[in-house]
Structure 1
């Protein structure tokens, strides 16, 4: 990799926090091009933490395997410098966020790209981004981004303990590409997010916690509460898919989760 004329190895790139992007040109074989962007400010989830050895993070490795099998060209970045202008966004058919805090991307460029027909996918911690004012990677201050919260469909507000007995998820839309493989319910062991500023009247909820079949105490949930875990939204011509799953390493290697995520990506790219 070259940075300002200096050749940088993959290991050094990871240590310096720069991206692992390859050529920015559109693939000539017609493959859809996807970026997994996982910059974390504040809390960094272990699945997207790159080891000091310079290897890719666990989620990046698994996601590459998933995309290779699905026929997508995939790229990775943990640097906001790769999303600073509209041309950088336009390099990709879909952009997957696994972020936290307020990365210093070009906000207007993202909105323009999405409105023009981009596919935006959020995984797990993505709803923990831009929900409040926060410190930036460069040491400055960044304001919250209300329009982002409306687009992604909700804001992280907390989570309970991970229950080894699992949480029962009821599937509200059994025909959607992201959930049609799940049947009536899906029992998972993962970190279950709570959200506020949920826009149920604007988003299309695909699945949520079944409060009648789940032990609510370790989750800190209420019997009459509403806990959506995956949904879709639109913005202009763009499609938005979010799943709250994906905290744990073993969730990423779970074939059902992989089908769920790939189904959401396919829908965001235009599949019915």
Structure 2
């Protein structure tokens, strides 16, 4: 039986959501996935249907979303459905929803210098199969400064500041570019690259993301038979 993925795209047009969504579709179809492609968030309203998926891929910079839809995604991922995305399409989405930020592992706050900054992406965990054999590489794009979850498993980083600005007096920092995290029984993958589709449609960036999508989806089988109730607490009702 073919694995099933839902890709939903929209939001700020500057991030080329339709082009990025179709790029994801091509990656996943090449791996044998059955794809549902939507240009609306209405597809997140059916929580039961989401729990039957192997993977959810959001491509929505900024925008607004119903609280219930984020809860539906959260419950699906907690039960094993993978969640994976890139750039602003996942970690600059739905800025007013803290559950989304908690689940995805980070939130964009700035890109000093705007588009066209040249910087290096450095592999931080070369033993991980998600980046094994992929060397450090340079990109010319937005360099994302993110507020990130300390629980993330960081796969790649970039060094700030590449561009002098108000943050520069704090000194150099290693900012995560790609990471994984767990959410209940499920897997979450994020990669900060992808300001335009042509940043991630080739080379090591594309390969990192291809592996991340597959890794997140593979969590469905791992979660089979697991008991999500083990994560219940009085303040969080499953």
TM exceeding 0.5 = yes
Distance 1:218 1:260 in 2: 30
Q: 1:36 to 1:181 in 2, by over 3 A?
A: farther
* Contact 1:209-1:228 within 8 A present in 2 as well: yes
Whole-angstrom distance in 2 between the partners of 1:218 and 1:186: 24
Partner residue, 1:257: 205
Q: TM-score, normalised by structure 2?
A: 0.80
Question: Residue 216 and residue 46 in structure 1: after superposition, are their counterparts in 2 closer, same or farther (change >3 A)?
Answer: closer
Structure 2 partner of 1:195: 146
Indicate whether 1:216 and 2:163 are aligned: yes
Higher relative contact order (CA closer than 8 Å, sequence separation 6+): 2
* In structure 1, distance between residues paired with 2:20 and 2:149: 28
Q: Distance in 2 between matches of 1:102 and 1:176?
A: 35
1:81 to 42, 51, 56: 42
Structure 2 unmatched ranges of 5 or more? 223-238
> What are the Cα deviations for residues 139-193 of structure 1, in whole angstroms up to 9, with x where unaligned?
xxxxx2222212211111011235757211111111323322422x121122121
1:168-247 pair list within 5 angstroms:
168-183=120-135, 185-196=136-147, 198-200=148-150, 202-211=151-160, 215-217=162-164, 223-247=171-195
Deviation at residue 91 of structure 1 after TM alignment: 4.0
* Structure with the largest fraction of strand: 2
Which consecutive aligned stretches of 4+ in structure 1 deviate over 4 angstroms post-superposition? 162-165, 218-222
Distance apart, 1:230 and its partner CA: 0.8
> Aligned residue for 2:228?
none
Partner of 1:22: none
Partner SS for 1:210: strand
Which structure's residues are more often helix, by fraction? 2
Q: What do the CA deviations read for 1:51-103 (whole angstroms, capped 9, x no partner)? A: xxxxxx32233223222222222221121111102123134210011212222
What TM-score does the superposition give when structure 1 sets the normalisation length? 0.71
CA RMSD of aligned residues (A): 2.4
